[in-house]
């Protein structure tokens, strides 16, 4: 019985290194841009920089060959006049990209929620839903092919994606109106851009990791294009808009920008700052 190995080739490896370079350059540019902004207004810049840094680490891991595993299955090829042929097919799956998505996708979602002015409760639910999407894809990729388990995880991911659309696109379109016409127009464009790309991801997964109808190199290139569009391109778009449209600015004070002062302490649930109390002297 023969064994066929579907592994990354020259084109796929080249794509991994190219995207790694793009992510490193984007991270450096975003970090330099962040250093020119006062800390209290640097939230978008920090999130965007972290997103590309995480992806850079992921692509370095994949390009260096330290973040992949082989998933093997038995395939039966039926023939009319000769006995069926059984063979093993082992496909290389890069688990690092799922680690990347589990960290960077919630950050992207957080930026959209901040842009729309979505409350913390709905933001948290959207982030949990997007984590379920990524983890479902991971479990399905490492499960048995063409089984109820694989496509069950795929169905869970699709349902979770519908929740993300509701929390961000539907609910966000209502809350963003309070931020003005410019922000509303920007949010509509950005959320449409991201959701279209996020819709393509599961299609690529279904063809590549699910049905295994395309080569490992083709899957790598498809994911690479999507990752570049959703991270460096989207991040640059957001930071340029941040410079041009002051209304989208999110200013964060307190510990974020000032740290813990020696003269003040943080009091949860109170807007006023309380003086630092001296400890009572020990009894003699």
What band does 151 get if pLDDT is binned at 50, 70 and 90?
Answer: confident
Q: What is the pLDDT of residues 174-228, one digit of tens each?
A: 999 999 999 999 999 999 999 999 999 999 988 987 778 899 999 999 999 999 9
Q: Is the per-residue pLDDT at 78 higher than 70? A: no
CATH number of this structure's domain 3-246:
1.20.1070.10
Q: Is the per-residue pLDDT at 267 higher than 80? A: no
What's the gap between Cα 52 and its chain centre?
10
What band does 270 get if pLDDT is binned at 50, 70 and 90?
Answer: low
Range among 76-90, 134-148, 162-176, 210-224 with highest mean pLDDT value = 162-176
Q: Is the per-residue pLDDT at 21 higher than 70? A: yes
Q: Is the per-residue pLDDT at 284 higher than 50? A: no
Integer Cα distance of 266 and 255 in angstroms: 8
Integer Cα distance of 64 and 223 in angstroms: 17
User: What is the domain partition of the chain in residue ranges?
Assistant: 3-246
Residue 6 confidence (pLDDT): 84
Q: Is the per-residue pLDDT at 69 higher than 60? A: yes
Percent of the chain residues past pLDDT 70, beyond the cut: 86
């Amino acid at each position: 019985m023969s064994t066929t190995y579907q592994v990354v080739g020259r084109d796929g490896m080249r794509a991994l290194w190219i995207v790694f370079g793009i992510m490193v350059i984007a991270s450096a540019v975003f970090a330099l841009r962040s250093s020119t902004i006062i800390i209290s207004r640097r939230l978008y810049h920090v999130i965007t920089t972290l997103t590309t840094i995480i992806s850079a680490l992921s692509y370095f891991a994949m390009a260096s060959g330290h973040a992949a595993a082989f998933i093997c299955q038995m395939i039966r090829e039926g023939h009319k006049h000769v006995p069926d042929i059984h063979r093993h097919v082992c496909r290389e799956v890069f688990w690092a990209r799922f680690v990347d998505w589990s960290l960077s996708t919630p950050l992207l979602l957080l930026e959209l929620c901040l842009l729309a002015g979505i409350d913390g409760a709905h933001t948290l639910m959207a982030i949990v839903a997007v984590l379920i999407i990524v983890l479902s894809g991971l479990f399905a990729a490492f499960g048995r092919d063409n089984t109820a388990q694989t496509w069950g995880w795929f169905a869970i991911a699709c349902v979770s994606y519908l929740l993300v659309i509701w929390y961000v696109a539907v609910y966000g379109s209502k809350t963003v109106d309070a931020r003005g016409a410019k922000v509303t127009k920007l949010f509509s464009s950005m959320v449409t851009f991201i959701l279209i790309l996020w819709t393509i991801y599961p299609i690529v997964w279904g063809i590549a990791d699910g049905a295994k109808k395309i080569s490992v190199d083709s899957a790598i290139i498809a994911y690479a294009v999507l990752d570049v569009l959703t991270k460096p391109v989207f991040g640059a778009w957001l930071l340029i808009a941040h410079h041009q449209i002051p209304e989208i600015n999110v200013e964060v004070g307190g510990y974020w920008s000032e740290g813990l002062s020696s003269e003040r302490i943080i009091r949860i649930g109170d807007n006023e700052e309380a003086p630092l109390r001296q400890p009572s002297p020990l009894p003699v």
